[in-house]
Structure 1
């Protein structure tokens, strides 16, 4: 038969409970609560500005990715399909009005010179006419040059010049293209979209495809969907252009009381806070605090000054944007507030969750302490 628990044993149990209550702030949880986040604000001698999202803040932070082509790229006209360039191959036919011509074989009135390749300096060599400047000229201009040279040695020569397929003006297409390779700039492929089509299109979803064109030391990037939505951005290509197709590498992180915690890549060109939460299954209905959805971001100086209504900031600033989904317009604000590359979206836990966790810990430990005290009392 067990004996009643002694006063000493009860004191031990009470002391253990008091210790747990004093240390409840260290109980396991998904992250800081609202009070702790606000405690880190500049207003409370922290190093981050905590800002409630409203239409003015949403408008000031609605910065879309800076992707597109400069006027330098857009104003470059298409290459003339007939302009000869170094590396091109030409075909010549020369007709002479004599039976024993300079170039024609015996008994023939015409001679055919195929596969005359334009050298790196832009010249071709034609027998009896010498070196002819071909690069930068049209086939007709080259025909006139050759005719004048031969006219001095054979009466009234007639010359035909054809621009054959060659490896003169080319671009390279690499990355997530349908077929990577080096492609000539020909009449059907003088613009960016037509060249991409010639290379088999893109091998990734077009919603997240980015195209970078490098010309000399200048590189510019555009989203594929914008390229097709705005025909004026379908730039003309130049010899030596490099086209790189890649997946959008922007990403954000979601933590806290959500359906899942993960680092996610953008699936569309723009992404709202609501869409970001939806990608991880939304808020965890069992523990989430809908009044405490935070977006952590390093904001550029000019945007931070606009958001805060100040003009005395220096450099990028740490901003914490607060979304309260329970407000009358809270869902609309979250739908309109744009997430940017590198953002951290954090959802706090409801206060009752911490309370329940503390109570469970106390009473769980209290039961263990009471059992231990009872064991001591039995002895």
Structure 2
């Protein structure tokens, strides 16, 4: 059978079109039609929800941080309360020439660097072991005086505390100077202790402060700590203060300026801000009517959003926003992104046609070469 040059070209082009249609072209992900085909309405397992004012209000859930009443109700540690680990300085005067403790020719005895042991006690010669922790220097003075009165006439005692040696907290993370700091009168609150540690070295907008106390912990935004006096809690010995960046992230995929996992830069992040944070929509590829926010929605919110009180457990929801209308832009501005969200922007339909035409145009010369070879 003889095939002319024109017929050969048509045959080759037909084969190429079929090949392109069969194997598909490179792209960044599913198009809008394919996402809709996976919806619950199409026997899939994802709910497709167009974003409007009602949806933005129902889904606007920003993580609330703060301390429990147990933290906030704690009173300030007394500036002169003695704790285990404190170092005390005792001076004892005796009203006799040859006292129990004083050296010859003196009537005063200095007991320097007396450490309060783990059980909260100290040892004073002729007075024995005395409970010091939980007492004030004045209260301890009276106890020692009473103990020694039976041994020497009219003893006079002074007690000085080295402030905070036993009442300490640990400060870690993004501060000017990590370390173990004493609780002293100027540093009895969280904000004062952070200042003592050199201040917070993280952007205030995303800085979080965690306080661990025993088996409990609480967390607060740095900005709220300074704006809400109730969050400036009183510290307790053994507290651990951790300063760290907000750990929330979202993932950007599809026809955006970049495709990556992105940390939050603000406490609240809208869909518009999230898109801007990754360089905006790709001018040459993005479909502005196909901006999706993919999320495993909590049961309570899913029931309200979908008006389905029968739903149980978290639900896969694909929120869709169209940026081609003013209302859509406002909705994108008001729709809040959450930790773990995926922001996916579909490609415009013409992009696949453009890629197909590019492939076919690029192979036209190949078709001519084949037909010429057939004619020779």
Interval containing the TM-score (normalised by the shorter chain)? over 0.9
Residue in 2 aligned with 1:247? Answer: 245
Structure 1 residues 64-103: aligned runs within 5 Å: 64-103=62-101
- Offset of residue 196 of structure 1: 1.3
Aligned length: 375
Residue in 1 aligned with 2:371? Answer: 373
Greater Cα offset, 290-299 or 176-185: 176-185
Q: Distance in 2 between matches of 1:77 and 1:43?
A: 57
- Contact in 2 for aligned 1:20/1:361 (Cα 8 Å): no
User: 1:343-370, CA deviations, whole angstroms, 9 ceiling, x for partnerless residues?
Assistant: 1111111122222222222333344223
Give the SS at the match of 2:363. Answer: helix
Q: Distance in 2 between matches of 1:94 and 1:21?
A: 99
- Offset of residue 37 of structure 1: 0.8
- Offset of residue 96 of structure 1: 2.5
- Contact in 1 for aligned 2:173/2:242 (Cα 8 Å): yes
Give the SS at the match of 1:56. Answer: helix
Gap runs ≥5 in structure 2: none
Residue in 2 aligned with 1:133? Answer: 131
Residue in 2 aligned with 1:159? Answer: 157
Structure 1 residues 15-34: aligned runs within 5 Å: 15-20=14-19, 22-23=21-22, 26-34=24-32
Q: Distance in 1 between matches of 2:7 and 2:92?
A: 121
Q: Distance in 1 between matches of 2:87 and 2:41?
A: 73
Residue in 2 aligned with 1:205? Answer: 203
Instruction: Establish whether residue 300 from structure 1 lines up as the match of residue 298 from structure 2.
Output: yes
- Offset of residue 104 of structure 1: 2.5
- Offset of residue 113 of structure 1: 1.8
Structure 1 residues 236-275: aligned runs within 5 Å: 236-275=234-273
Instruction: Establish whether residue 278 from structure 1 lines up as the match of residue 276 from structure 2.
Output: yes
Instruction: Establish whether residue 187 from structure 1 lines up as the match of residue 161 from structure 2.
Output: no
Residue in 2 aligned with 1:120? Answer: 118
Q: 2:35 aligns with which of 27, 34, 37?
A: 37
RMSD: 1.9
Structure 1 residues 333-352: aligned runs within 5 Å: 333-352=331-350
- Offset of residue 145 of structure 1: 0.8
After TM superposition, the runs of 4+ consecutive aligned structure 1 residues lying more than 6 A away are none
Q: Distance in 1 between matches of 2:128 and 2:20?
A: 100
Give the SS at the match of 1:23. Answer: helix
- Contact in 2 for aligned 1:17/1:366 (Cα 8 Å): no
Greater Cα offset, 279-288 or 108-117: 108-117
- Contact in 2 for aligned 1:151/1:157 (Cα 8 Å): yes
Give the SS at the match of 2:159. Answer: strand
Q: 1:18 to 1:163 in 2, by over 3 A?
A: closer
User: 1:85-118, CA deviations, whole angstroms, 9 ceiling, x for partnerless residues?
Assistant: 1111111222222233222333333222221111
- Contact in 2 for aligned 1:16/1:369 (Cα 8 Å): no
- Offset of residue 135 of structure 1: 0.8
Q: Distance in 2 between matches of 1:357 and 1:242?
A: 58
TM-score relative to the length of structure 2: 0.94
Greater Cα offset, 312-321 or 89-98: 89-98
Q: Distance in 2 between matches of 1:359 and 1:166?
A: 77
Q: Distance in 2 between matches of 1:14 and 1:248?
A: 56
Q: Distance in 2 between matches of 1:327 and 1:59?
A: 19
Q: 1:11 to 1:165 in 2, by over 3 A?
A: closer
Structure 1 residues 354-373: aligned runs within 5 Å: 354-373=352-371
Q: 1:144 to 1:369 in 2, by over 3 A?
A: same
Residue in 1 aligned with 2:214? Answer: 216
Q: 1:300 to 1:159 in 2, by over 3 A?
A: same
Greater Cα offset, 72-81 or 365-374: 365-374
Residue in 2 aligned with 1:9? Answer: 8
Q: Distance in 2 between matches of 1:166 and 1:274?
A: 50
Gap runs ≥5 in structure 1: none
Give the SS at the match of 1:145. Answer: helix
Q: 1:373 to 1:300 in 2, by over 3 A?
A: same
